[in-house]
Amino acid sequence: MKRYLYKLFFFLLTLYVLSYASVWIYEIPKREAVANKTLDVQNKWNDIKDSHAAFDIIILGSSRGDSGYNPAIIDSITGLNAYNLCSGSQNIVETYYIIKELIKYQQPKIIVLDHFLPSFKDEPDYFQVLANAEQMSFGGRMDMVVNGFGATGLLNYSTPILKYKSYFKNDLKNSLNKEQSVSSYQRIRGFYYDKTQVDSIAIASFGPLSVALPQSTSQKRAQNYVKKIHDICQENNIKLMAVRSPYPPSRLHQYPDDIAHDYFTHLYTSLAHRFIDFNYPAPRQLRDTDFSDNRHLNYKGARKLSIALAYEIQKTHLGK
C-alpha cells in the first residue's frame, strides 16, 4: 500500500511539473511582452499606480467597455481626466477587488461600471482574473483569489495550466486556420482603439442578444457584489455610474427580447440606484458599421458612445 502511494505521489508530482513546464513554454510571448512593455494589462496597472497620475473617472467592465469608452473624448467634453481599466470577461467579483486595489493608488470622483451579463456568472475566466491579480499588490491579489473566488480560485492560482485550458484549444484551432484576422488597434489611456469594421456578411449573421440568466445562486452572489461595489464607492466618496454599452442596432431590432436589460434594471432598482442602458436610446446615429463584431464597438462607435457618456456625466454629476 505504501509503495502504491509513493508511486501515485510521484506520478502526480510529475504531472504537476510537466504542467508548469507547459505553461512556461506557453508564456514565452507573454514574458517577451512584459520585457518589451507591450503587455496591455501590465501597462494599464502601471498607469493606475503612477503617482503622478490623477484620474477623475475610471471605467471598469468587460471587453465591451474596453473598446467602447475613449477617455480622450470623455475628457474633451467633461474637462476631467478619465482612464479605461476594463479587461476581457471582467467578472463582477473581480471588479469589486479591482476597485479595492485601485483606490490604494487613485482617488477617482466617478467610477463607470459597464455591464455585460456573462460577467455575472459564478465561473469566471480565470485567465483574465489572474492576469489582473498578477498586477495587484500581494495582499490585494490573495484577497481576490481567496476571498473572492475561494477554493477554485486558489486552485487556478496554484495550478496555472488550469486557467489556460480553453486557450490551448482556441490557439490550436487558430494555428490550423490559415486565414487568421489581424486586428488593427492602439491604446489610448487604456482604451482599445479598434479600426476593424464589421462587414455586411457578418451583420446578416448576427444572432439574438438573449443569453441565459445566471442561476439563482449566481444572481444572489452577483447582487451581493454589486451592493459591495455600491457601498465601497459610497465609503470613498466615489460616484458610481452603472451603464451598459450598446449592441448593433439591427441586432436589437431583429431580436428585441433583451433579458439583460430587464435583469440589470431590476437589480439597480432594488438598490435605489440609476442604471443607464445606452441601447435605449442608442447614441445618436449609431450604425452596425460602428462595430468590429456582433458586440464590440470600433473607434467610430466608441466616439459616439463616449460623447453620450460624457454628456451624461456633465448632466448627472457636474451639473452642466
Is residue 158 included in any domain, yes or no?
Answer: no
pLDDT of the residue at 44: 98
Q: How far is residue 84 from each of residues 56, 74, 105, measured CA to CA in Å?
A: 11, 11, 15
pLDDT of the residue at 257: 82
Cβ pair 132, 98 in contact under 8 A:
yes
Q: Within this chain, do residues 231 and 117 fall inside the same structural domain, yes or no? A: yes
Q: Within this chain, do residues 189 and 273 fall inside the same structural domain, yes or no? A: yes
Domain that holds residue 265: 40-125+179-317
Cα–Cα distance measured from residue 147 to residue 117, given in angstroms and rounded to the nearest whole number:
22
Cα–Cα distance measured from residue 225 to residue 148, given in angstroms and rounded to the nearest whole number:
10
Is residue 153 included in any domain, yes or no?
Answer: no
Q: Within this chain, do residues 120 and 66 fall inside the same structural domain, yes or no? A: yes
Q: Within this chain, do residues 64 and 22 fall inside the same structural domain, yes or no? A: no
Diameter of the chain measured on Cα atoms: 77
Is residue 189 included in any domain, yes or no?
Answer: yes
Is residue 231 included in any domain, yes or no?
Answer: yes
For 286-316, the pLDDT digits (tens) are 999 999 999 999 999 999 999 999 999 999 8
Is residue 148 included in any domain, yes or no?
Answer: no
pLDDT of the residue at 174: 62
Q: What predicted TM-score, i.e. pTM, was given to this entire model? A: 0.92
35's enclosing H/E stretch is: helix 28-36
Residue 243 pairs with which residues in a beta bridge?
A: 114, 276
For 264-283, the pLDDT digits (tens) are 999 999 989 999 999 999 88
Instruction: Indicate the range of 50-54, 72-76, 230-234 predicted with least confidence.
Output: 50-54
Q: Which positions ≥6 away from 56 have C-beta within 8 Å? A: 80, 81, 82, 108, 109, 110
Q: Within this chain, do residues 21 and 110 fall inside the same structural domain, yes or no? A: no
Is residue 308 included in any domain, yes or no?
Answer: yes
Cα–Cα distance measured from residue 32 to residue 39, given in angstroms and rounded to the nearest whole number:
9
Q: Within this chain, do residues 205 and 86 fall inside the same structural domain, yes or no? A: yes
Q: Within this chain, do residues 4 and 110 fall inside the same structural domain, yes or no? A: no
Q: Within this chain, do residues 199 and 290 fall inside the same structural domain, yes or no? A: yes
For 202-212, the pLDDT digits (tens) are 888 888 876 66
Is residue 200 included in any domain, yes or no?
Answer: yes
Burial of 138 (0-12, 13-18, 19+ CB in 10 A): exposed
Cβ pair 194, 281 in contact under 8 A:
no
Q: Within this chain, do residues 113 and 4 fall inside the same structural domain, yes or no? A: no
Q: State the CATH number of the domain containing residue 81.
A: 3.40.50.1110
For 174-209, the pLDDT digits (tens) are 655 655 555 567 999 999 999 999 988 888 888 887
57's enclosing H/E stretch is: strand 57-60
Q: Within this chain, do residues 22 and 73 fall inside the same structural domain, yes or no? A: no
Is residue 161 included in any domain, yes or no?
Answer: no
Q: Within this chain, do residues 6 and 73 fall inside the same structural domain, yes or no? A: no
Mean pLDDT of 47-69: 97
Total structural domains within the chain = 2
Q: Within this chain, do residues 3 and 113 fall inside the same structural domain, yes or no? A: no
